[in-house]
Structure 1
Amino acid sequence: MPNYSNDLDNTFRALADPTRRAVIARLIQGPASVSELAKPFEMAMPSLMQHLRVLEDGGLIRSTKQGRVRTCQIEPLQLQRAQDWIARQRAQWEGRLDRLEDYLETTRKDGDTP
């Protein structure tokens, strides 16, 4: 199995959770404080903070603290890296499926199929 970078592994691990995907969707609209991010979720603040740490470890967000307010914002570069990886996988599979389709079409024309 190829050795993928830890950054990409952490990114996909972070995106595996629906709460974290919802946080990302919100942050795509613009920066938000932790308390603002917590509003739609029925969970304790330490639980949300754990989700935010996973997102930061995955390189998807960064946070800054000014006074008592911690503000989070999206890190688009890591999302782009994940999108690029997915696009490469899709291109490989589309190529394979196109070759399979060509092969099946050729064998059908040659009368090799029942």
Structure 2
Amino acid sequence: MSLNERYWGKIGIETWIADRFGELPAGTEGEPLIGLAADLLPHATRLEYASRLARGRSIGSGLVEGSITQFVNRCLKQTGAKWKVAHVGPLVELAALIDTPDWNTLWVAA
């Protein structure tokens, strides 16, 4: 199973959230992760994001998806940039964390 397949569908999203809990610094409660899990719960039968992306279908608003795509493309296509596929996911996760209320706590803990 590839890393991407690990996070497919409802079970995949739950696995991803559980994995992030395992990475939290000591003393961090993970309230954003709890909120994410609660937000996704009513949509359990509709969470097939990885397979939707594989088929070329969108997973979010055009604005959000476009912004993320532009950011990742800028990073990956910089002159002299040599990215490994395995490092793209952590880049996106880091970029997403920067704008959260937990960023300062996580940055200091690192």
Q: TM-score range by the shorter chain?
A: under 0.3
Greater relative contact order (Cα < 8 A, sep 6+): 1
Q: Going by fraction, where is helix more abundant, 1 or 2? A: 2
Q: Going by fraction, where is strand more abundant, 1 or 2? A: 1
